[in-house]
């Protein structure tokens, strides 16, 4: 029997999904919905009453690869997650946050869920900065806004942890979650290869999935390594104890009596 640390984020071979997404909001998902909604309405009001200030806000808080690196706007890989361009944009992102985020938060807890959410969202933003600077042109100067990088990270985690959970593809065709993830991952990858030009930043989508995949797999490998070290340590101590007991037996045979009586 092995012993050691058994924590971590779980893995697809240890998870089942018991049915239904449910409607109850979990605490962290609820806070994220409120923050995104507040930011959306604030930006909408700026667009109505002060369009110039709205443009400035998007330039300052959206993700502009050139500004992140050369103007030291280091907050942008975080703040871009809370801005959205229109009602449908924020609606579908927040719908997916509720759909995939609530079961993950129930499973992981709020702290781990938020850590993963922001890790994938910020990681997607940083990948977008690198790709944008390498690509140049509009990719380096056009702001990216939206929580899709983090949302795609949640989608990836849901597909890994609940691979057989049914999801309706385009609200019509039920498919297992792992198939759903493969379809959207392939679409994001193929779209990202086309480069900038469309209104949708597919690099951020792909980045969220990549960061989520390597983080979850990396945690699995890390805890597996801890378990193997604990097993090796236990075997090492057991061998030392066996050597000690053999030495004690040898000494008793030579002297004819033990060093002490144990009661």
Grouping H, G, I as helix, E, B as strand and the rest as coil, residue 43 is helix
* Residue numbers of the domain that contains 135: 16-221
Task: Tell me if 248 is assigned to some domain.
Answer: no
Q: What is the pLDDT at residue 209?
A: 87
Question: The CATH number of the domain where 89 resides is what?
Answer: 1.20.1540.10
Residues 149 and 205: beta-carbon distance below 8 Å: yes
Task: Tell me if 263 is assigned to some domain.
Answer: no
Ordered alpha helix ranges (H), the chain? 27-49, 51-61, 65-70, 76-79, 87-108, 110-135, 138-141, 148-161, 177-193, 202-255
Structure tokens at 41: 């309405």
Per DSSP, 63 falls in state B
One pLDDT digit (tens) per residue for the chain, 263 residues: 333 323 344 444 334 444 445 568 999 999 999 999 999 999 999 999 999 999 999 999 999 999 999 999 999 999 999 999 889 999 999 999 998 999 999 999 999 999 999 999 999 999 999 988 988 888 899 999 999 899 999 999 988 888 888 777 766 777 787 887 888 777 776 666 555 545 556 677 778 888 998 888 875 443 454 445 445 556 655 666 566 566 666 666 666 555 544 44
Query: What is the rounded CA–CA span in Å between residue 43 and residue 54?
Result: 6
Task: Tell me if 42 is assigned to some domain.
Answer: yes
Catalytic residue among 89, 148, 202, 223: 148
Is 85 in the active site?
A: no
Domain total in the chain:
1
Q: What is the pTM of this model?
A: 0.74
Strands of 78-232, DSSP E: 166-169, 173-176
Catalytic residue among 89, 202, 205, 223: 205
Q: What is the pLDDT at residue 192?
A: 62
Residue among 80, 52, 75, 50 nearest 143 (CA)? 80
Is 148 in the active site?
A: yes
Sign of the CA dihedral with 58 first, then 201, 173, and 216 last? negative
């Amino acid at each position: 029997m092995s012993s050691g640390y058994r924590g971590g984020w779980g893995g697809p071979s240890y998870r089942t999904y018991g049915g239904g997404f449910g409607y109850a909001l979990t605490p962290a998902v609820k806070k994220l919905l409120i923050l995104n909604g507040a930011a959306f309405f604030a930006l909408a009001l700026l667009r109505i009453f002060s369009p110039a200030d709205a443009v400035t806000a998007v330039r300052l808080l959206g993700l502009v690869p050139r500004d992140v690196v050369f103007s030291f706007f280091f907050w942008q890989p975080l703040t871009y997650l809370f801005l959205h361009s229109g009602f449908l944009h924020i609606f579908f992102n927040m719908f997916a946050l509720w759909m995939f985020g609530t079961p993950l938060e129930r499973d992981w807890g709020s702290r781990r869920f938020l850590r993963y959410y922001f890790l994938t969202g910020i990681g997607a933003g940083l990948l977008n900065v690198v790709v944008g600077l390498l690509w140049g042109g509009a990719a380096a100067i056009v702001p990216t806004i939206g929580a899709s990088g983090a949302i795609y990270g949640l989608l990836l985690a849901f597909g890994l942890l609940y691979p057989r959970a049914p999801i309706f593809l385009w609200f019509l065709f039920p498919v297992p979650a792992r198939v759903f993830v493969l379809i959207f991952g392939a679409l994001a990858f193929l779209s990202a290869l086309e480069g900038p030009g469309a209104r949708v930043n597919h690099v951020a989508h792909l980045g969220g999935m990549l960061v989520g995949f390597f983080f979850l797999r990396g945690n699995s490998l890390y805890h597996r390594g801890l378990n193997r070290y604990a097993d090796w340590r236990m075997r090492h101590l057991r061998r030392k104890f066996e050597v000690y007991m053999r030495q004690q037996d040898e000494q008793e045979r030579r002297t004819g009596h033990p060093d002490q009586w144990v009661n």
